[in-house]
Amino acid sequence: MRTALPVTIAALGLIIAFFLLGNAYKYKFHATENISVTGLAEKDFTSDQIVWTGNYTRKMLDLKAAYALLKQDEAQIRNYLKQKGIAETEMVFSAISIDKEFNTRFDENGKQTGSEFTGYNLRQNVTVDSKNIEKVEKISREITELIEAGIEFNSSAPSYYYTKLSELKIDLLAKASADARQRAETIAKNAGSSLGKIRKGTMGVFQITGQNSNEDYSYGGVFNTTSKNKTASITMKVDFAVD
């Protein structure tokens, strides 16, 4: 009897240990079960801000004369933009850049023999930043009027922006999360399980592309500025527990 009692106690302890270990493994296995899905949300929108830049130049041998003519061009461009409905607060004139230009001289054998100073090239930019997109677009197309007035003006294509990106991003995140839950619920239902709480959520790349364009998505995110009408998209990777 004395010999059997310790053996019985040891066996009972071993059974309890195996039971606890089995339950711990079962709990651990159950706790690590999850469903990982990626939700997607997209939204079309129209830009509400336009930025248009142009530049003009004067080249002369006399620096002071070139500078005076460029300042006249600035005044004429400023007045032109005002007449077109652009406010002073919507236009910015950059500092003037000055470059010395030379022509290289060569002899009959093609060997460089020196250089000749051809004049000072002065350059200035004007940028229009406005909410009135149609008005600025029209000005950018009709800028030949300045060229006809004797100003050597070069116009760049306008860039388009959206001032409510923060609100748009929050809205897309909510929709992407809802899309992820719907996908996970479908998977869980088909597997005969029920969906539990979110264990982890990771925001994917926020992309802005032109509508009806063939732009490729980028790992770092695309931010289109050439199209007025755009599409914003975002992905959300979510891990759900399975009950």
All structural domains of the chain with their residue ranges = 1-32, 34-46+164-242, 49-159
d(CA 135, CA 53): 14
As a whole-number percent, the residues of the chain with pLDDT over 90 amount to: 65
Give Dmax over CA atoms of the chain in angstroms: 123
pLDDT at residue 236 greater than cutoff 80: yes
β-sheet bridge partners, residue 97: 123
pLDDT at 56: 97
- Do residues 96 and 122 make contact, with C-beta atoms less than 8 angstroms apart? yes
Query: Tokens 């999360």 belong to which residue?
Result: 177
Write out pLDDT tens, residues 149-187. Answer: 899 999 999 999 999 999 999 999 999 999 999 999 999
Strand pairing class (195-210; 159-161): unpaired
Query: Does the pLDDT at position 5 exceed 80?
Result: no
CB 101 within 8 A of CB 59: yes
pLDDT at 232 over 80: yes
Give the residue with greater pLDDT, 21 vs 234: 234
Q: Which fold has domain 34-46+164-242?
A: Translation Initiation Factor IF3 (3.30.110)
Residue 52, burial from CB neighbour count under 10 angstroms (0-12, 13-18, 19+): buried
Number of Cβ within a 10 Å radius of residue 72: 13
Q: What is the CATH number of domain 49-159?
A: 3.30.70.2970
| pLDDT digit string, tens, across residues 185-222 | 999 888 888 888 889 999 998 999 999 877 777 677 88
* The three-state (H, E, C) secondary structure of the chain, written as one string: CCCHHHHHHHHHHHHHHHHHHHHHHHHHHHHCCEEEEEEEEEEEEECCEEEEEEEEEEEECCHHHHHHHHHHHHHHHHHHHHHCCCCHHHEEECCCEEEEEEEEEECCCCCEEEEEEEEEEEEEEEEEEECCHHHHHHHHHCCHHHHHCCCCEEECCCEEECCCHHHHHHHHHHHHHHHHHHHHHHHHHHCCCCEEEEEEEEEEEEEEEECCCCCCCCCCCCECCCCCEEEEEEEEEEEEEEC
In this predicted model, what pLDDT tens digit does every residue of 121-148 receive, in sequence order?
A: 999 999 999 999 999 999 999 888 899 9
